[in-house]
């Protein structure tokens, strides 16, 4: 296993952040990621301040099927909404977005403590992986909320941050629940060079998609 990937997996197990760059040929964006079981208000605040993109929670297609989670684009079949549905992004992929959720114990759902609670409780839910997971999900969460779920299709089908981060969780032997947030700078995606500098400044592992692809070969 690539030494950087091995180190990243070890850091995930400790609740550390990873800077994950998908690749020059794709979005050309870096995401600040960590495992959902380590969610805290402080971590959510860091995503807001240091990354600045959309805070999302990724799980895999197997968990999504158990819970009954749909892809958001599949919900846009209503005649009035079908015209705005995007089946393919500018970089060629079907979007990974599912429902935005809140845990039922939050107030508005948007403050750092609320989003941290939603994320951590989702990680706790899927860790149990029991047959009643769907009922437990319905009992403990509602939509619309303030944490967007993403569904990974696996690296054979899609090579986005969603799939890359979930593969990293798999390599670390952690449940399929990863938190992602795009890193922005000057109104645009943070450059690869600046993302690398940020990772170095704070002692975070910097990974590229190709590093993870190499492990899968």
Q: What phi and psi, each to the nearest 5 degrees, are found at residue 114?
A: -65, -45
Return the pLDDT at 190: 96
CA distance 23 to 56: 19
How many C-alpha atoms does 1 have within 13 Å on its Cβ side?
Answer: 12
Indicate which residues carry an active-site annotation: 31, 56, 91, 102, 146, 182
What is this structure's pTM? 0.92
- Domain-by-domain residue ranges, the chain? 3-216
**DSSP single-letter state for residue 6:** H
Q: Supply 154's token pair.
A: 């696996």
Return the pLDDT at 157: 84
User: Residues 185-201: pLDDT tens digits?
Assistant: 988 999 999 999 999 99
User: Residues 66-75: pLDDT tens digits?
Assistant: 999 998 988 8
Return the pLDDT at 105: 98
Q: What phi and psi, each to the nearest 5 degrees, are found at residue 150?
A: -120, 145
Query: How does strand 56-60 pair with strand 97-103?
Result: unpaired
Does the pLDDT value for residue 80 go beyond 70?
yes
Counting residues of the chain whose pLDDT is more than 70, the rounded percentage is 94
Counting residues of the chain whose pLDDT is more than 90, the rounded percentage is 71
Return the pLDDT at 27: 79
Q: Which is more confidently placed, 106 or 213? A: 106
Does the pLDDT value for residue 1 go beyond 70?
no
Q: Supply 208's token pair.
A: 């590229």
CA distance 22 to 138: 33
**3-216 CATH:** 3.90.870.10
**25-29, 157-161, 213-217 — which one is most confidently predicted on average?**
157-161
């Amino acid at each position: 296993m690539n030494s950087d990937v091995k180190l990243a997996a070890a850091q995930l197990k400790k609740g550390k952040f990873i800077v994950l760059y998908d690749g020059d040929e794709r979005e050309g964006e870096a995401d600040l990621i960590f495992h959902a079981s380590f969610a805290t208000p402080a971590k959510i605040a860091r995503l807001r301040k240091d990354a600045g993109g959309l805070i999302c929670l990724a799980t895999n297609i197997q968990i999504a099927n158990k819970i009954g989670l749909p892809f958001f684009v599949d919900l846009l079949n209503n005649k009035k909404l079908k015209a705005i549905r995007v089946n393919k992004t500018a970089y060629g992929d079907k979007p990974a977005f599912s429902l935005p959720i809140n845990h039922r114990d939050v107030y508005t759902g948007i403050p750092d403590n609320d989003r941290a609670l939603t994320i951590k409780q989702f990680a706790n839910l899927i860790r149990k992986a029991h047959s009643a997971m769907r009922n437990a999900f319905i009992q403990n969460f509602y939509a619309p909320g303030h944490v967007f779920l993403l569904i990974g299709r696996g690296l054979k089908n899609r090579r986005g941050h969603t799939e890359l981060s979930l593969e990293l969780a798999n390599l670390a032997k952690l449940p399929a629940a990863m938190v992602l947030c795009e890193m922005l700078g000057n109104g645009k995606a943070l450059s690869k060079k600046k993302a690398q500098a940020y990772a170095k400044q704070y002692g975070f592992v910097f990974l590229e998609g190709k590093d993870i692809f190499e492990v899968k070969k």
